[in-house]
Amino acid sequence: MEKVAIVQKMPEKVSLIHGAGGEMMQSLIGGVFATIKNNNAGGIGLEALDDGAAIPFGDKFIVLTTDNHVIKPIFFPGGDIGRLSISGTVNDLAMMGAKPIALTNGVVLPEGFPIEDLQKIVKSVDEALEEAGCALVTGDTKVLPREALDSIIINTSGIGITDNPIRDCGLKPGNKIIVTGTIGDHGIAIIAHREGFKFGSELKSDVAPIWKTVEAALAVGGITAMKDPTRGGVANVLNEMAKKSGVRIVIQEETLPFRQDVRAAADMLGLDPMEVANEGKAVIGVEADKADAVLEAVRKTKYGKDAVIIGSVEEGSGVIMKTRIGGQRFIEPPLGDPVPRVC
Amino acid sequence: MEKVAIVQKMPEKVSLIHGAGGEMMQSLIGGVFATIKNNNAGGIGLEALDDGAAIPFGDKFIVLTTDNHVIKPIFFPGGDIGRLSISGTVNDLAMMGAKPIALTNGVVLPEGFPIEDLQKIVKSVDEALEEAGCALVTGDTKVLPREALDSIIINTSGIGITDNPIRDCGLKPGNKIIVTGTIGDHGIAIIAHREGFKFGSELKSDVAPIWKTVEAALAVGGITAMKDPTRGGVANVLNEMAKKSGVRIVIQEETLPFRQDVRAAADMLGLDPMEVANEGKAVIGVEADKADAVLEAVRKTKYGKDAVIIGSVEEGSGVIMKTRIGGQRFIEPPLGDPVPRVC
Ligand SMILES: Nc1ncnc2c1ncn2[C@@H]1O[C@H](COP(=O)(O)OP(=O)(O)OP(=O)(O)O)[C@@H](O)[C@H]1O
Ligand SMILES: Nc1ncnc2c1ncn2[C@@H]1O[C@H](COP(=O)(O)OP(=O)(O)OP(=O)(O)O)[C@@H](O)[C@H]1O
Ligand SMILES: [Mg+2]
Ligand SMILES: [Mg+2]
Ligand SMILES: [Mg+2]
Ligand SMILES: [Mg+2]
Ligand SMILES: [Mg+2]
Ligand SMILES: [Mg+2]
C-alpha cells in the first residue's frame, strides 16, 4: 500500500485537500517540498517532518517553526486569528520540548480590511504572548487588492530553546499515551459556528498556548514523543507518531475525553471529532513508570485539567481502538481534515 | 510635520499603500502592530523596527526575521518567487550582520495552482539556499479556494548568528555611504515586464542572496549601519537610516549607479528608480577611514561589482542630493513604493 502511495504520480494541480493536514498533504509535502536538498542546518531538519526543526547551538538547541493561519471566520467562539496564530506557533515549539522565546508576525491583508478588526487581533496577540511568556519581535505587512485575497492571513514563525528536543518518532513499546484534554473542540466549534448551528451550550474553541502544561510534563521526565493534534486531529497524529516510531498504538475508547456538546454536535454534523483540529492540546508519549506523575503534573495546569491516559504503545504498526463493547478497529489517518479553513 | 503624523487618526480601512513600504506603511505599523507590549526577548526587538530582531544567546546573538512574498507575476525576468523569498530573508539577516543559518517556508496556495510551477519554485528555492549557504528546515502548507486567493504567497522567516548585530540607526557624522550595486533594477524590471514594455536589452531583476557580499564588508570592519533598499527603494532607506540615526545624509547625484536601460525605462514609465525596490543590494554606512577598503572588498564579490560610495553623513537631518549641475534638493521618503506587488 505504502509503496503505491510513493510511486503515485503527482496530480497536475493543487486541490483543497492538499492543505488539509492529512495523508494527501503529506504526499504533496513529501513529493514537492521535501525534495529540497539544503534541508538541514545540523540537528533535526526538514527531513524529519516534525513540528519544527532543532539546530544545535552550544550545548542547547534552537527550535524553529512556522505556521500560516487562514482561518474563517477570523473571530470565532473562544478566540480569534490573533490568539490562534500565537498559540499555534507556541504549541509547535512546545511539542519540540522548547520554551518559546520570540515570534514573528507576517501579515497579509486585503485592501479594505477594517483597522478596528486589526486592532482587536493585535490585542489578542498581545494577550496570548503574555500568557505564553514570550515576545513578538519582528513582522512584515503586505496588502493585496480586494479581488486577490478575501481575508487576513497571518504567518507566525518562532524560536524556542531546549536542552533536549522531543521528537514525534520516539514512542517505545510499553509507553503510555496521554492526551492533555478534551478532543475535537476547535474543529467542531468552528464548523458549528460557521454553519450557524445552535446547541444548548455554546461550543468554544480550545485555542490556547499550552507551553506551561507541556513544561510541567517535561519537568517530571520520561517524555518520549509529543505532537499537537491540529489539522487531521488526534486520529492523524496518533497515526503519524505510530508510523514514524515504528510501533502500534492501542487506545481505549471509553477513556477518550469528549465534551458532551462536542460529541452531540459532531454527531449531528456527521463528523468524527477524532479527525478535526484541536488548538490547545498535546498528545504525549511517556514511559510507563512516569505516566501517572506526568498526568498529575499536567492536570495541575490551566490547560491540562481534563488530561487522561488514553492508551499505550505496543510492537507492531497502526492505531487500534478497543471499543466500549469489547471489539477493536483500526483508526485510520484521514485523507484530510473534514473542516476547511480550520486554522 | 512629524507631530502631525503621529497624532493623525488611523484611517478606518487598510488601503494598498499600507503595504507599500513607505511612510504610510510605517504609520500603520507604528499605530497598530508596534503597540504590542510583549515586544522584546532581550536585545533588539520590535521597538527597533529594524530588518530583524537580535536576541542575546550566550556570547552571540540569534537574529530572527520574516517576510511575506506576494509578487506578481511569480516568474519574472531574473528570478521567481522562490528565489525572491530566500533572498529577501537572507538579506534581512545579512543586514543585521548575521550569517544566515536556517529558514522556514510558509506557503499558501490557491486551489488549482499547477504542481509543475510549484516544482519550479522549489527548485529555485533550493538553488538560492545553495548560493547563500543555508538550509530550509521547516514549513507549512495551506490551500485556499480559488475565489479566496489569486496566487501563491510564501512567507520566509529565518534565523542567523552574529557576534555583533548591525543596526540601521548607527550612522555617525563623517561616515561614508556605500551602495553595493545598481539602483532600481528589481522594481523597474517587474513593472516593465508586467506592462509588456519592450526595451533594447531585457531588464532583469537583481534578486540575489547577498550574504557573501555583506560578509566581505563585515570582515574589513568599520560598518556602522546597514539596510536593504527593498520596498520604497534607496530613497526610503536613506531617509529611515538618517532619521533613526539622527543625522543628515548627503549624496552626490553623479555617483549614483543606474543601469542605462533601467534609467531609460524608468523615464518612460514616469518612475523614480530611487523609489522602487531592489532585491540584491545593501546600503552600508562605514567609518570614513575604512570606506575604501570595504568598497574594494565588496567589489570582489559576485553581487558587489558595481558598488560605489554615494555620499557621506553629516550632522543635521534628512537626505540631501547634490545635483550634477551644482544644486541640491531633499530626497523625500516615498509615501509608498509606486510598483504594486513588487515583492
Ligand atoms: N511548504 C512546506 N515546505 C517545507 N516543509 C513543509 C511545508 N509544509 C509543511 N512542511 C513540513 O511538513 C511537516 C508537517 O507540517 P504541518 O504543517 O502539518 O505541521 P504542524 O505545523 O505541526 O501542523 P499544523 O500546520 O496543522 O499546525 C512539518 O515538518 C513541516 O515543517
Ligand atoms: N505586521 C507586523 N507586525 C509587527 N512588526 C511589523 C509588521 N510589519 C512590519 N513590521 C516591522 O516593521 C519594520 C519594517 O518592516 P519592513 O517589512 O518594511 O522591513 P523589511 O523586511 O526590511 O522590508 P521589506 O519587507 O520591504 O523587505 C520591521 O522592523 C518589521 O519587523
Ligand atoms: Mg504541530
Ligand atoms: Mg502547527
Ligand atoms: Mg518586511
Ligand atoms: Mg530589510
Ligand atoms: Mg525584507
Ligand atoms: Mg503547520
Could you report the per-residue pLDDT of A208-221, keeping only the tens digit for each? 999 999 999 999 99
Whether residue A45 has pLDDT greater than 50: yes
For ligand 1, whether the C-beta of A50 sits within 6 Å is yes
Distance (angstroms) between ligand 2 centre and the Cα of B279 equals 15
pLDDT digits (tens, 9 = 90+) for A220-231: 999 999 999 999
Output the pLDDT for position B202: 83
Q: How far is Cα B308 from Cα B295, in angstroms, rounded to an integer?
A: 7
| Atom from ligand 2 closest to the CA of residue A106 | 1
- Cβ distance of A19 and B141 shorter than 8 Å: yes
Beta bridge partners of B158: B65, B103
Residues A205 and A261: beta-carbon distance below 8 Å: no
Query: How high is the pLDDT of residue A1?
Result: 36
What are the φ and ψ backbone dihedral angles of B63, each rounded to 5 degrees? Answer: -100, 135
Q: Which pLDDT band, with edges at 50, 70 and 90, does A8 fall under? A: low
Q: Note whether B66 contacts A157, CB cutoff 8 Å.
A: yes
Identify which of A16, A29, A67 has the shortest CB distance to residue B111: A16
Distance CA A69, CA A231 (A): 12
Q: Measured between alpha carbons, how far is residue B291 from residues B66, B248, B257 in Å?
A: 30, 18, 17
Q: Are B230 and B71 in contact (CB under 8 A)?
A: no
Please report which confidence band the pLDDT of residue B200 belongs to, taking 50, 70 and 90 as the band edges. low
Kindly report the nearest CA distance between residue A295 and chain B, in angstroms.
Answer: 30
Give domain limits for chain B: 41-162, 175-330
For all residues of chain B together, what is the average pLDDT? 96
Please report the pLDDT score of residue A212 as a whole number. Answer: 98
pLDDT of amino acid A298: 99
CA–centroid distance, B51 to ligand 7, in Å, is: 6
Span B302-322, average pLDDT: 98
Ligand 2 atom closest to the Cα of residue A105 is 3
Record the cell numbers describing residue A274, joined without a space: 477524532
pLDDT at B2: 42
CA distance B70 to chain A (A): 8
Asked if A110's CB is within 8 angstroms of B64's CB, the reply is no
Q: In angstroms, rounded to a whole number, what is the distance separating the alpha carbons of residues B294 and B303? A: 14
pLDDT at B319 over 50: yes
For the domain spanning A41-162, the CATH number is 3.30.1330.10
pLDDT at position B308, please? 98
Residue A120 has which C-alpha cell? 482587536
User: Which residue in the block uniquely carries the three cell numbers 505504502?
Assistant: A2
Q: Do B138 and A52 touch (CB under 8 A)?
A: yes
- The answer, yes or no, to whether residue B3 has pLDDT greater than 60, is no
C-alpha cell recorded at residue B210? 547577498
User: Stretch B146-171: mean pLDDT, rounded?
Assistant: 98
Give ion ligand 3 contacts, CB < 5 A. A 51, 92, 228
pLDDT confidence of residue A179: 99
Q: Work out the pLDDT band at A280, boundaries 50, 70, 90.
A: very high
Distance from Cα B66 to the centre of ligand 5, integer Å: 6
Sign, Cα dihedral of A204, A210, A216, A218: positive
Residue identifier of the C-alpha nearest atom 18 of ligand 2: B21
pLDDT, position A200: 59
pLDDT range class, residue B198, cuts 50, 70, 90: confident
Q: CB under 8 Å, gap of 24 or more: what pairs does B47-51 form?
A: B48/B167, B48/B169, B50/B95, B50/B96, B50/B167, B50/B168, B50/B169, B51/B92, B51/B93, B51/B95, B51/B96, B51/B168, B51/B226, B51/B227, B51/B228
* pLDDT of A4 over the 50 cut: no
pLDDT band at A279 (very low <50, low <70, confident <90, very high): very high
CB of A229 sitting under 6 A from ligand 1: no
The shortest C-alpha distance from A288 to chain B (Å) reads: 31
Helix, strand, coil percent content, chain A, rounded in steps of 5:
35, 25, 40
The DSSP letter of residue B44 is B
pLDDT number for residue A196: 87
A interface test, pick of B105, B109, B136, B137 with most A CB neighbours within 10 Å? B137
Q: What is the DSSP string of A256-319?
A: ----HHHHHHHHHHT--GGGS--SS--EEEE-GGGHHHHHHHHHTSTT-TT-EEEEEEESSSEE
Does A70 sit within 8 Å of B108, measured CB to CB? yes
Span A79-91, average pLDDT? 98
- Phi and psi at A50, nearest 5°, equal -95, -175
Residues of B in contact with A14 (CB under 8 A): 109-115, 118, 143
User: What confidence tens digit (pLDDT) does each residue in B66-115 have?
Assistant: 999 999 999 999 999 999 999 999 999 999 999 999 999 999 999 999 99
Q: Is residue B4 pLDDT above 50, yes or no?
A: no
| Residue A7 clears pLDDT 70, i.e. is over it | no
For residue range A281-307, what is the model confidence (pLDDT) as tens digits? 999 999 999 999 999 999 999 999 999
Contact A24, A335 (CB under 8 A): yes
Alpha carbon distance A216, B9 (integer Å): 45
- Section B276-295 average pLDDT: 98
Q: Which three cell numbers stand for residue B50?
A: 529594524
Which pLDDT does position A327 carry in this prediction?
96
| Per-residue pLDDT at B53 exceeds 80 | yes
The architecture that CATH gives domain A175-330 is: Alpha-Beta Complex (3.90)
pLDDT digits (tens, 9 = 90+) for A51-60: 999 999 999 9
The residue type found at A234 is V
Terminal C-alpha separation, chain B: 30
